[in-house]
Amino acid sequence: MKTEFKSSFLRAIKKIRDEQIKSDIADVIENVEKATGIRNITNIKKLKGFKDCYRIRIANYRIGLKIVNNIVFFVDIDHRKNIYKHFP
């Protein structure tokens, strides 16, 4: 699938200090780019009440995604206790 990164996502990655989490994020991005559809993306879950919003779980972090017209927008990543305060 085609991917695009929002500036908020790129800023949030810079704040993460754990190298293992950063490595896992790179694996998720690679997985999403290779996927042919939503069902081929591992650990993805649709957010209730929102049409195009999804999340991917990485340990205690969550990646906030929007999927529009087969384009995956990486919107934000944050700790699980904070992500839902500002995403979606």
User: The domain containing residue 51 runs over which residues?
Assistant: 3-85
Q: Are 76 and 83 in contact (CB under 8 A)?
A: yes
Residue 68 — very low, low, confident or very high, per pLDDT cuts 50/70/90?
very high
The CATH number given to whatever domain includes residue 60 is 3.30.2310.20
pLDDT score for 81: 96
Count of the separate structural domains present in the chain: 1
pLDDT score for 22: 96
- SS in 3 state form for 53-87? EEEEEECCEEEEEEEECCEEEEEEEEECCCHHHHC
Residues 44-63 have pLDDT tens digits of: 999 999 999 999 999 999 99
Residues 14-28 have pLDDT tens digits of: 999 999 999 999 999
